[in-house]
Each structure stands twice: as structure tokens, then as C-alpha cells.
Amino acid sequence: MTVPATFHLACGATGAGKTTQARRLVREFCALHFSIDDWMVRLFGPDQPPMRNSRWIAEHLAAAVRQ
């Protein structure tokens, strides 16, 4: 018997609880968690300026999506 896959997409403001909810789903359902935040840190963490701004974030987020 196959079980249909379920995909959850969480969008919302910073601090809204998206990551907390995602981590709960990972624990509860032995799920995978893909996070743009994790990708951004891995791809651009060492290159972050001391004071990030929205332009820097937008430019690097677009680059992460293209990867």
C-alpha cells in the first residue's frame, strides 16, 4: 500500500513561527525540512556584511533561488 505524499509550504513574516512549526512536522512525521534560511547561511554566510540590509538579502536570495 502506498501512502500519498504531503507537501507543506510555510510563508509568513519573520518570527511568525514557520520554523517552529516545520520542526514539529519533522519530528511528528519523520519529514524533510527544506529552508531558504539554511541555504542562505550555507551559500552566503561567510560573505555577510556586518549590517545586512534588505537589498543585500534580496540580491542574495535571488542568487540562492537560481542555484
Cβ distance 20 to 35 under 8 Å?
A: no
User: Residue 67: pLDDT band by 50, 70, 90 thresholds?
Assistant: low
Cβ distance 23 to 17 under 8 Å?
A: no
Which H or E run includes 62?
helix 54-66
Q: Report the C-alpha gap between 13 and 20 in whole angstroms.
A: 13
What does pTM read for this prediction? 0.60
What pLDDT digit, counting tens, does each position of 12-35 carry?
888 899 999 999 999 998 899 988
